[in-house]
Structure 1
Amino acid sequence: MAIHVKNASRALVAALTAIFGGAAAQQAPPPQETVHFFTYENDSRFFTDRFYTSGVQFSVKHATDTRGDFARRLTTRLCGWTGCDPATVLTSQTNVGQLMYTPRNIRVAEAQPLDRPWAGLLYYEQAYAFLSPDQRTLTTFTGQIGVTGPASLAEPAQKAFHHLLDRPQPQGWDHQLGGSLGVLVSAEKRTGRESLSFDLPAHVRFNTATYWRVTAGNIQTYAAAGVAVVIGKDLPPVSPPPPGIGNKIAGATERKASALTSCMVPWIQCTTFGSVEARAVGYNVFLDGRLFHDNDPSLERRPFLYEVVFGTRFDFPGTRTASHGPWFAQVKVTQRSPEFRSPLGVPSHKVSALTIGTEF
């Protein structure tokens, strides 16, 4: 009888383990292959309403290769020039957004030839990131197509936003940059520098990367180089530029215990980042006017400028569910040197950005 009871007890334990163990396994959220995030940029945080004054972007990022035949052929050729492996797609990303530019005084209805022209851009963008086998070099190719002029919807967007917040109505959109179809292609290579990276106390890591970027098209044409730093826990050797900075690159490392990745409290993870970039600009439609349109508003564009970025990102690992990855929020400040010359004087310009979304 004792043997039968013992066997029955073992069978009951095994059954309960199978039931509750299986239920726990089913409740474990599966890894996400698609994430979404939204970015809003504006200079009002610094009490200005001028130059690059507002931008919005909705992004969808995939942890899979979503390239079509044309994109595959193009990125394969670009990888041949930049040294990346076209088969190692880390992420595929789609962006849809709008950019808005105004002079410093938006209450003037007349043309302001000595100040930044009114302009808007409504765009669609596709980007593919390739990670090297040693996980230290990230190469990103971006293609963008957009429209300027009234079709950009910048005028109704700004007027609706100002009406909603009871701000002064912009008066000079009749003098905005004319309508055109714009295209832009960009390649960026970002490499983690082990000699400039080191460990800090409490499992914190200081990572440094250098990068270059070349952009060409009838929207903008420029070359840039910079240095970027990331401070956080469980960092990959190289991180994508914001808002792609996470506590890891998808698939690059195993998820560690929250004690190693948390920031002060277990339910939050934090990462700080910054960069300094120098840029040589050959063309900017928002300052030079459209190609072959001599009557477009234009200014004396500065051929060289710099940009400083600083930001912090907060991840909330406990918000992961079966339908989406963990939520994150990121704040970023960008300061850019004067982009044009004018008798009115042109100060540097600051823009703040808020990004909210989900991660893998």
Structure 2
Amino acid sequence: IGDIGSIQRGLRPFTGDRKSLRAFKRITGFDDPNAVQYNFGFSLTQLMFTPEDFASETQPEGQRRYAGWSALGFSLHTKDDQTLNSVEFLLGITGPKSLAQDTQDFIHDFRDIENFLGWDNQLPAEVTADLSFVQKRRLNFGENDDILSMDGIGEWGGRLGTFRTTGHIGGMVRVGLYLPADFSDPRLSETAYAHKYFTNDRVMLSSWSAFLLGGFKASLIAHDATLDGPVFHDDFETGNTREAYVGEL
């Protein structure tokens, strides 16, 4: 782990490995902390939110507030054959400096789509900082050496920050023919991880596979700057109401 970036190195106390904080080792630790593997990464994220009425130059009452957010993420991922812990630090900015309007206008002009005209009413500029943790654990439903088999993962995580503060639990299940040795996640989410989830030396029985994938996610939303407004701009009202509980299938 000596070749990782300095910011990722600062995330190591939250990974559950042998040098993690005692509380994290107890809750999220590995059976053998000395036998884990590491990956690290960088991400660039841009989110934009608009109301349904694109033609109004003022914020349409009762509709989604114009909002943009861009962030640079630094992540560290620690895993063994049963568990993947992902920690990410996100440094971002809201408002015009997020360049969300510029990006949207560029895409709309390129595709000859009418532009949204009310971006002057978007969230004000504010620097944000968020720390995210997600743990994924393998769910075993018998041996995967059969032609027809089933497996899955369970996950839980949390995010604490000035852009979003959330917690969630969820999972995915696969059932099918010649299941791949590892998972890939089709969703876009915090700590998005494109590598193999777990270390695995299982030999594939076939060069092809076919399976059904299903899952759920239940989230508790304590703060969302795009709905609640920026933390340090008490005088700014979005006109929106945040849903505290959100479910996905």
| Cα 1:229–1:65 shift into 2, 3 Å | farther
Say whether residues 1:221 and 2:165 are aligned partners: yes
Deviation, 1:217, is 0.2
Q: Is the 8 A contact 1:122 1:147 kept in 2?
A: yes
- One of 115, 135, 139 as aligned partner of 2:85: 139
Structure 1: tracts of 5 or more residues without a match: 1-63, 264-269, 309-360
Matches within 5 A, 1:169-318: 169-194=115-140, 196=141, 199=144, 203-231=147-175, 233=178, 235-236=180-181, 239=183, 241-242=185-186, 244=193, 252-253=200-201, 256=204, 260-263=206-209, 273-293=213-233, 294-308=235-249
> Tell me, what secondary structure is at the counterpart of 2:206?
helix
Give the distance between the partners of 1:208 and 1:91, measured in 2 at CA: 22
> Tell me, what secondary structure is at the counterpart of 2:101?
helix
Matches within 5 A, 1:1-360: 66-79=3-16, 80=21, 81=24, 82-84=28-30, 85=33, 88-132=36-80, 135-194=81-140, 196=141, 199=144, 203-231=147-175, 233=178, 235-236=180-181, 239=183, 241-242=185-186, 244=193, 252-253=200-201, 256=204, 260-263=206-209, 273-293=213-233, 294-308=235-249
Give the distance between the partners of 1:77 and 1:163, measured in 2 at CA: 44
Structure 2 counterpart of 1:208, one-letter code: G
Q: Which structure has the larger Rg over C-alpha atoms?
A: 1
Deviation, 1:112, is 2.1
Give the share of equivalent positions with the same residue, in percent: 22
Structure 2 counterpart of 1:235, one-letter code: P
Greater shift in the superposed pair: 66-75 or 167-176 = 66-75
Structure 2 counterpart of 1:121, one-letter code: W
Aligned residues: 231
Structure 2: tracts of 5 or more residues without a match: 188-192
Q: TM-score, normalised by structure 2?
A: 0.80
Q: Is the 8 A contact 2:94 2:123 kept in 1?
A: yes
Deviation, 1:189, is 1.1
Deviation, 1:299, is 1.5
| Cα 1:284–1:255 shift into 2, 3 Å | same
Q: Is the 8 A contact 1:231 1:273 kept in 2?
A: yes
Give the RMSD, CA atoms, in angstroms.
Answer: 2.8
Q: TM-score, normalised by structure 1?
A: 0.57
Match of 2:190 in 1: none
Q: Is the 8 A contact 1:234 1:261 kept in 2?
A: no
Match of 1:37 in 2: none
> Tell me, what secondary structure is at the counterpart of 2:238?
coil
